[in-house]
Amino acid sequence: MDLCKTLIPIRPPPPHLRRGLPQRHVKSTASLSTFPTTTPPESTPRLSLAESLQNETLQTLEWPSVCKQVSAFTSTTMGFSAARAGRLPLGRSPEESRRLLDQTAAAAALSRPLDFSGIEDVSETVRVSVSGELVTIGELCAVKRTLRSARELFGQLEELASRDDDSRERCAPLLEILQSCNFLSGLEQKIGYCIDCDFSRVLDRASEDLEIIRSERKRNMEHLDSLLKEVSALILQGGGVDRPLITKRRSRMCVGIRASHRSLLPNGIVLNISSSGATYFMEPKEAVELNNLEVRLSNSEKVEEQVILSLLSSVIAESEIEIKDLLDRILELDLAVARAAHGRWMHGVCPSLSSECFESFKTESSLAIDIEAIQHPLLLETSLRSSSDPIESKSRSSDPVNEGNGAMKFEVISGSSDFPVPIDFKIGHGTRVVVISGPNTGGKTASMKTLGLASVMSKAGMYLPAKKQPTLPWFDFILADIGDHQSLEQNLSTFSGHIRQLCKILEVASKESLVLIDEIGSGTDPSEGVALSASILQYLKARVNLAVVTTHYADLSLLKETDTRFENAAMEFSLETLQPTFQILWGSRGDSNALSIAKTIGFDDKIIEHAHVWVKKLMPEKQQMRQSLLYQSLMDEKNRLEIQAMRVTSLHSDIMKLYHEIRDEAEDIDGREAALMATETQKVEREIKAAKSQMEAVLHEFENQLRTSADQVTSLINKSESAIASIVEAHCPSDVFSTREAGDSSYTPQIGDQVHVEGLRNKLATVIEAPGDEATVLVQCGKVRVRVNRSTITAHKSSKGVAAKSSAPPLKRKVQGSRNSRNISDLSNDEEDSYAPAVQTSRNTVDLRGMRAEEASHYLNIAISSSESKSVMFIIHGTGMGVIKERTIQILKNHPRITKFEQESPMNFGCTVAYIN
């Protein structure tokens, strides 16, 4: 049965898809491996051995564990499974690795996370359809959702890229993944036209025959239902049932009737009997043909639905290549976003890859590997764990897709950790072999593994947990001999296992390979081990890109003296603490420090002393070389530079802190000046209004008294003049700068004097250094110390009331004395209430905790003297032994500027509030 003609026909795959997609686009699950699946016949054995050794190296470097970290940041089941299985793609060429890095950088630059919801792994559905089996309605709906979500995902990328030219350029590596992809809109529309995914059923419009069958079945069911209702009503009238009962038994519609009244349905067919035997389910004779037709139509409907599902399955099978290509593209995009999120999580930086061989570089002094402060990602994981760690939360989940669509993975956990200890790799272009020596448990193997893992991560397009921009070459193979290869089953000793592994490595290593060998030549006689190790290194120097080996053989460090292609490195060991620092000293040769380590473990002193005697007998020249004055001078210089760097950092921090304080003061000074002027204006207006009201009251009382006591005119006038003079004196502002007159030039400031500085907007400052021969004075205003010209400062004097009796007009009436005294009392209350609100801020808080008594006293005196008039100060003295608190209370009681103070309360322990006049 053909589908409805109104459906959009399936477009045949383009010619390049029929012939087979290019290697980049046709990527099944197997294509995520490191090596190509097709190789020339003559190179197959070597590449097979190289692939085997590469897989062993990845296991040794714990690459699957790093992939497991990335799996926590994936958004699809396909990405989670691939990363969880350690199948992150590795670039098979420098260009491919750079393309992976570009994808990671583009994903990290996205302004918002991509939404992968709705995308499912439908590869099994495609396999079922290709095998000729029938897919279910649910599987068809999954294909439809995946195609629609993939198209919407591409729309999200286009939207982010369409904002401006820079956005287009940044998103280009991600757009390239889905740019030429076939989203199979026809297949999506065809499934949507035939299937109702909300109710999981085939729609009537899927085919003409299905629509006719369902229409006939509907009419037949209406007739059958009408007939059964009539029969059930007759049975109810005859007492055969308590209520009408129409049901289905054995796929046929029937009615329920009591066994005792079955005679009401003559020639009826009994389809079923209830468990108690009291009710019969009978098919009336008139309904037999209608039920037969219902059964035939139902079977025809099922057959037609299977035909439609079969046709849709065949359409999916025809689109196998396009669907698999689309899934591979989505997987590639998901892994790129996951790598970016993983890089943010561990504060990683993008590495720079160089594919050129070492001889092609012009300068020997430049660095082929320049990695600063890199940390091992697996050791770093422990310091980055938190309660909301996506790695923990997702690893505990059985369904990774339900954890979200990746939005939370763009959160960055702030802060950094000093564990593991960051290490540097500085290897020049002319270096082919690096010999790392040093003590046991000093970090030689861990450092070598970190370098190998960084090389693998850069090949996979991942960020490195380092600083600045790491630079390292692209290696075709990363081969490692680390660990014990002893095998009783293969009759291999420890030494034999190492030699067998080295033999395989030497066979497959190329000019672009990285070789890592741990404890080369160990497990045999030291003299033969040194000879064999030196020969292997001489062989490697001309056949590999770089070889890094660790050893306790001091003779291997002498190879650098005769060949510049060798380089030495040593793991630093502190002779003061007898502990390793896990830092690499490039160009140095390290001691094993076995005797020092044995001493820290607890060996007997006599054993250690005898061992030192034997060492001096066996290696007198080497001992003297290792303890040379040059090495000590270099270490002293290093320590001196580190101390200077710490001092410079501290000084820079103090300067920046002072700069920010001054900048904040300067930015806020205009606003505070305007607010102060507004406050002072309102205060003056209130005082003028109050004075006017009080004087009017005095005059009013004077007139009243004058009418009743005409003989006491002189006395009343004197009292009224006195009252009005008091009012004027109380409300007349004091001239704080009256001292700046002709005689002010003779003023000599002394240490501790309070002065007004004209250059600081006449702020109150404290003299902290007596003037010398120069005409400048060092003053402190708040936390800022500044040297000002002596002519710009004036001495501060306490505010005094101005006598204003002469300004009072002569009066000829008597005033009541009690009224005058009441007004003066009111003025004193207003003056008390003129203090600023008692709200604690950083500007009016003095913290004395942690100071000595003398230092706290000096600091508090300066703070009180430099405070503004009518201000409130919060003094934090703590709740310790009470010495600072007692000294604070003593100063507050005796200081002339302190009006009153409030000691600590149950709501404010360790703090005293002082009011300054």
In the block, residue with structure tokens 């401006």: 164
Residues contacting 717, CB < 8 A, separation 6+: 810, 811, 812, 813, 814
Q: How many CB atoms lie within 10 A of CB 25?
A: 20
Helices (H) and strands (E) in the chain, counts: 25, 25
The predicted pLDDT at position 712 comes to: 67
The predicted pLDDT at position 804 comes to: 35
DSSP reduced 3-state for 744 = helix
More confident residue, 637 or 210: 210
Residue 239: φ, ψ to 5° = 85, 15
Torsion angle, CA of 523/529/535/538, rounded to 10 degrees?
80
**Structure tokens that stand for 319 in this block:** 């689109």
Q: CA-to-CA distance for 310 and 322, rounded, in angstroms?
A: 19
pLDDT band at 553 (very low <50, low <70, confident <90, very high): confident
More confident residue, 31 or 917: 917
Helix (H) or strand (E) holding 202: strand 201-202
Long-range contacts of 56-65 (CB under 8 A, 24+ apart): 56/480, 57/452, 57/478, 57/479, 57/480, 57/516, 58/86, 58/456, 60/449, 60/480, 60/482, 60/483, 61/449, 61/452, 61/453, 61/456, 61/478, 61/480, 62/378, 62/449, 62/453, 63/453, 63/456, 65/378
The predicted pLDDT at position 625 comes to: 52
**pLDDT reading at 138 higher than 70:** yes
Question: Would you say 280 and 262 are in contact if contact means Cβ atoms under 8 Å apart?
Answer: yes
What is the DSSP secondary-structure string of 258-291?
EGGGGGGSTT-EEEEE-TTSSEEEEE-GGGHHHH
**pLDDT reading at 26 higher than 50:** no
Longest alpha-carbon distance in the chain: 141
**pLDDT reading at 713 higher than 70:** no
pLDDT band at 740 (very low <50, low <70, confident <90, very high): very low
What is the share, in percent, of the chain residues with pLDDT greater than 90?
35
pLDDT band at 145 (very low <50, low <70, confident <90, very high): very high
More confident residue, 384 or 654: 654
The predicted pLDDT at position 673 comes to: 78
pLDDT band at 9 (very low <50, low <70, confident <90, very high): very low
Residues contacting 704, CB < 8 A, separation 6+: none
Q: CA-to-CA distance for 454 and 348, rounded, in angstroms?
A: 11
Question: Would you say 62 and 456 are in contact if contact means Cβ atoms under 8 Å apart?
Answer: no
Q: CA-to-CA distance for 461 and 88, rounded, in angstroms?
A: 10
pLDDT band at 577 (very low <50, low <70, confident <90, very high): low
Count how many residues are written for the chain.
Answer: 917
- For residue range 852-868, list pLDDT tens digits in order: 888 888 888 888 888 88
Say how many CA atoms lie within 13 Å of 909 toward its Cβ.
Answer: 5
- For residue range 73-124, list pLDDT tens digits in order: 999 999 999 999 999 999 999 999 999 999 999 999 998 999 999 999 999 9
Q: CA-to-CA distance for 32 and 93, rounded, in angstroms?
A: 14
Q: CA-to-CA distance for 584 and 571, rounded, in angstroms?
A: 5
- For residue range 673-699, list pLDDT tens digits in order: 788 888 888 888 888 888 888 878 877
Nearest to 463 by CA among 157, 56, 66, 32: 66
The predicted pLDDT at position 544 comes to: 92
More confident residue, 497 or 646: 646
**Structure tokens that stand for 768 in this block:** 């902290």
